[in-house]
Structure 1
């Protein structure tokens, strides 16, 4: 069968889904921001080391070089706080303890709060909670030791703990939310996989049921003609052999995908096969995609034809969702002992391995191809646009 159809359409492209990245995979803008924060904090603490005592505020009591060392310990580690949160927190807190004991701190431990936010965001709860406890206890003790000069110990400790605890809680809360989103996405993907497998199994069940009914009819004919017209009976038996062999192959595939007891909608219509491609093209036209089809195969097993139709259907649907407005071309032809299906479009080729991978279309294609132990690839085409290529063995499995 060979068909070429051209149609045009317009429509909105699909939405791009958000992707949650690891905290430690820091983009350059955030690295530059952290470097700027580190420099500013270091400069502020260098300034604190030069503040002299007044009637109401104690000044730095150590030598100048010690002030510079403490300033560097408090500020510079913040430049890499996203890559080594706990190590950075340790250095910053030790620096702040030294700064407290030398009466150098004139702010409520904001540097430690910056480090604690990333600890809460990046580290598992048991580690980040331990880091928070150490960060609260160490400075608290240092403030109490420095109390004869500082005064207002309870108020000072309360403010410091409030600032640091709030910062950690915000980071830990965001981590929990991101973990929940990841789990939800994984559960949705797993459910989509189950749904696709059961849908395929239901469709193949229809194919096998049809084959069995056909076999029963031919067996009755062969039995009736076995004595009077043996030639006709022999033809019927050969048809039975071929049909049964195909049905057994489809039954094996059903057993491979029936791995769940999840109910499936009972109103799925029997699949149309390649004869339904013109309707698919018309549907794409209503959505606005210009589609051409070059189909150069015939006399395929019914289950294989069903699989090819569903792959084309899902491929064209992806073009409608993610590449509009665009032109789509579908080619189906023999390639050695296999049938090769290639679906291309001229839309934005890098639109979404991220977007497409989050949907169910590519999942369904992969599952259908896996049933036949075929090969599957999908990605941006070298000449632009997006390309899906599938190869399926015609007879049996490899």
Structure 2
């Protein structure tokens, strides 16, 4: 879990173009150091080797494996030409995104690579090589190169596993929240059916009893019946859209329905999975509890989709009331695709669309032209569900 007292290096997650610029700057800086420190770099072959080692680093996040292959080949050539003294530093920098993005295979010896890297570190620190200068230089190149590559691979795999674990934790939390919501709706439906219909039955009996003698009282009872039945119908229509069976849970453990006040907690959970959420909530006046619950669930599902399909990414959530409508917009700067793994149900967007439709609203979702994904919902603030 992230420490809330530790401030990140950057105030917000970097966009793809900014990451490319950062990698390009690192590559150019490394090239500058090589040119200054290598007397053999000032000839065409040296310039070509240094360029092939450093310039492709700018797109290492876009094409990890091809960039690593090019940089590795150029690094070996540069070492053979005597252009560089420090071994495979650029190749290790290019290997990290390969380890971070490539799916792990069963036969992959990541633990063995980490152990060998630790052994190379100990050998580099304490193991002196008594040999001629040329042999010693070759052995140092092999040992330090193995250390750099093994360290980059091990760290990349460790970060990948951590992100995958955080994503699984977020999905499990979302599933638990859905189960709790279904049970809460079942309890609310019981209250609506029993209490509301009891009130309607009592008022109907009163109206029938006093209709001839006190018509004013009968008319008032009919007004109460009308108002109560409309409210009950609205609540029932909202709840029936999301009610499902959820056996085996304890109703007494249910908490109050989350609303706008719970959105910061949702953002904190998303940050643990690599998605930093920027909240912008501007709602004047209070909202009905059922509508606040709908807003919370829409934002929760949209942010969960960002965690599943785009993490690490930056996400912006805005909830504004404007022109008699409540506007909910969730955008991210991820790849813009929502590719589901094999066997996944993919009901997130469908569930959000159905929830918005239950309130008579409008729902749209899709990739943005410049990259990223957007979920947009507009819910009427008056007459919802009628």
TM-score, length-scaled by structure 1: 0.49
Q: Which residue of 2 aligns with 1:373?
A: 360
Q: RMSD over aligned Cα, in angstroms?
A: 5.6
Q: 1:367 to 1:198 in 2, by over 3 A?
A: farther
Q: Which residue of 2 aligns with 1:92?
A: 71
Paired residue secondary structure (1:107): coil
Paired residue secondary structure (2:241): helix
Q: Identify the match of residue 391 of structure 1 among 376, 380, 384.
A: 380
Q: Identify the match of residue 217 of structure 1 among 198, 202, 208.
A: 202
Which of the pair has the greater relative contact order for Cα pairs under 8 Å at 6+ separation? 1
Q: Identify the match of residue 35 of structure 2 among 24, 33, 43.
A: 43
Structure having the higher Rg: 1
Which deviates the most, 115-124 or 236-245? 236-245
Asked if the contact 1:82–1:118 (Cα under 8 Å) also holds between the matched residues in 2, the reply is yes
Aligned-partner Cα distance in 2 for 1:22–1:123: 21
Aligned-partner Cα distance in 1 for 2:100–2:296: 42
Match runs of 1:39-118 below 5 Å: 39-40=31-32, 42-43=34-35, 47-49=39-41, 64-118=43-97
Asked if the contact 2:186–2:243 (Cα under 8 Å) also holds between the matched residues in 1, the reply is yes
Q: Identify the match of residue 99 of structure 2 among 120, 124, 135.
A: 120
* CA displacement, residues 321-361 of structure 1 (integer Å, 9 cap, x when unaligned): xxxxxxxxx999xx9xxxx4779xxxxxxxx999xxxxxxx
Query: Structure 1 unaligned runs (5+)?
Result: 1-13, 51-63, 137-147, 271-291, 296-303, 315-329, 344-351, 355-364, 378-387
Asked if the contact 1:198–1:257 (Cα under 8 Å) also holds between the matched residues in 2, the reply is no
Q: 1:107 to 1:197 in 2, by over 3 A?
A: same
Q: Which residue of 1 aligns with 2:240?
A: 255
Q: Identify the match of residue 163 of structure 1 among 145, 148, 151.
A: 148
Aligned-partner Cα distance in 2 for 1:167–1:178: 17
Q: Which residue of 2 aligns with 1:322?
A: none
Q: 1:89 to 1:266 in 2, by over 3 A?
A: closer
Q: Which residue of 1 aligns with 2:26?
A: 34
Q: 1:205 to 1:21 in 2, by over 3 A?
A: farther
Aligned-partner Cα distance in 2 for 1:203–1:16: 42
Aligned-partner Cα distance in 1 for 2:256–2:331: 31
Match runs of 1:137-156 below 5 Å: 150-151=134-135, 156=141
Query: Structure 2 unaligned runs (5+)?
Result: 117-131, 258-282, 298-319, 333-351, 365-376
Following superposition, the deviation at residue 95 of structure 1 comes to: 1.1
Q: Identify the match of residue 207 of structure 1 among 187, 192, 201.
A: 192
Asked if the contact 2:30–2:54 (Cα under 8 Å) also holds between the matched residues in 1, the reply is yes
Which deviates the most, 91-100 or 148-157? 148-157
Aligned-partner Cα distance in 2 for 1:313–1:74: 49
What is the total number of aligned residue pairs between the two structures? 277
Q: 1:268 to 1:374 in 2, by over 3 A?
A: same
Following superposition, the deviation at residue 39 of structure 1 comes to: 2.5
* CA displacement, residues 131-166 of structure 1 (integer Å, 9 cap, x when unaligned): xx9xx9xxxxxxxxxxx9943566653432222111
Q: 1:162 to 1:209 in 2, by over 3 A?
A: same
Following superposition, the deviation at residue 171 of structure 1 comes to: 1.9
Asked if the contact 2:241–2:358 (Cα under 8 Å) also holds between the matched residues in 1, the reply is yes
Asked if the contact 1:341–1:389 (Cα under 8 Å) also holds between the matched residues in 2, the reply is yes
* CA displacement, residues 289-327 of structure 1 (integer Å, 9 cap, x when unaligned): xxx9879xxxxxxxx96546879999xxxxxxxxxxxxx
* CA displacement, residues 46-84 of structure 1 (integer Å, 9 cap, x when unaligned): 53446xxxxxxxxxxxxx422322222223222333333
Paired residue secondary structure (1:159): helix
Following superposition, the deviation at residue 167 of structure 1 comes to: 1.5
Aligned-partner Cα distance in 1 for 2:296–2:47: 68
